Amino acid sequence: PRRRGHQAGHTVLDVFRQHVRQRPRHPLLLFQDQVLTFETWSASNRAAWALQRRAGLRRGQTVAVFLPNEPAYLWTWLALAKLGCPMACLNCNVRGRALRHALEAAEATVMLASPGERGNMGFGGFVVTRATVLREDSGGFGGF
């Protein structure tokens, strides 16, 4: 039996867009002292634009994401879904050989990291096999 509200062939992005239309002012995310609503999802639109234009991402490219638990993680995930790019979620507590292994296993062509991870990846800064690093402070996300 189907669950109420579930329709075959819908992605998480489709369901999210439906919530944006139906409940734009309802809380989506509580982060520290911020309450972000569904209508704040425009940050993911800016992120998608920046990732496509500035990083040259194309549908099907795997992107390694090395971000802490913060709103930028959600916007990045939605942006990548809009672009059709699979996301390889990396544990931001992993360093050294374990991180290198995760990157190699993901076969990502691009890696996204927050400014807080600068030089703290455990294998010599931002030298990453088969990946390019974009940082929020480099203008890569359009300032969200």
Over the stretch 101-134, which tens digit does the pLDDT of each residue have? 888 898 888 888 876 654 444 433 322 333 434 3
- Categorize the per-residue pLDDT at 72 as very low, low, confident or very high, splitting at 50, 70 and 90: confident
Within a domain: residue 48? yes
Q: What pLDDT does residue 53 have?
A: 86
The DSSP call for residue 49 is H
The CATH number that applies at residue 46 is: 3.40.50.980
Within a domain: residue 3? no
- Categorize the per-residue pLDDT at 140 as very low, low, confident or very high, splitting at 50, 70 and 90: very low
Domains: count for the chain: 1
**pTM greater than the 0.85 cutoff:** no
Residue 30's CB is within 10 A of a number of other CB atoms, namely 9
Domain span at residue 46 reads 12-129
Within a domain: residue 70? yes
Say whether pLDDT at 139 is over 60: no
Are the CB atoms for 111 and 66 separated by under 8 Å?
Answer: yes
Within a domain: residue 135? no
For residue 36, the surrounding DSSP H or E stretch is: strand 34-37
Within a domain: residue 98? yes
